Amino acid sequence: QLQLVESGGGLVQPGGSLRLSCTASGSALGGYAVAWFRQVLGKEREGLSCLSSNSAYTYLANSVKGRFTYSRDNAKNTVLLQMNSLEPGDTAVYYCAAHRTAGSCSTMARWYDYWGQGTQVTVSS
């Protein structure tokens, strides 16, 4: 059973940076598509990025393009989300998710079977 744990969230001033990590255990992450989502209380979960198992298929939301980058290291069973130029509107709980498949990924939350517990990111002066 795949388990995901996010880390790296916290409080940062506008314009600052954070790097979120999602570490998998229980199974090799290499056979899974992975994604990052965020959610503000009372709103739907927003898909930010996804990577297919071989990183051949990728997606990054327009809302974070140019500020966020993401990567995966299958050897370390880790997915990273580097967030730069953070804005107050980026304040949310950030989640990583995984779905066992090859060759594709999605930013639809219902597509994913495995979720981390989330990490809070707060952007405020």
Residue 96 banded pLDDT, cuts 50, 70, 90: very high
- Please report the pLDDT score of residue 84 as a whole number: 98
The whole-number pLDDT of residue 91 equals 98
Judged by DSSP in three states, 106 sits in: coil
Least Cα distance to 21 among 2, 6, 36, 4 occurs for 6
**How does DSSP classify residue 66?**
T
Confidence (pLDDT) at 102: 81
- According to the model, what pLDDT value does residue 74 have? 83
pLDDT value of position 70: 93
- Flag whether pLDDT at 55 surpasses 90: no
Can you tell me the mean pLDDT for 79-97? 97
Contacts of 19 (CB under 8 A, 6+ apart): 8, 80, 81, 82, 83
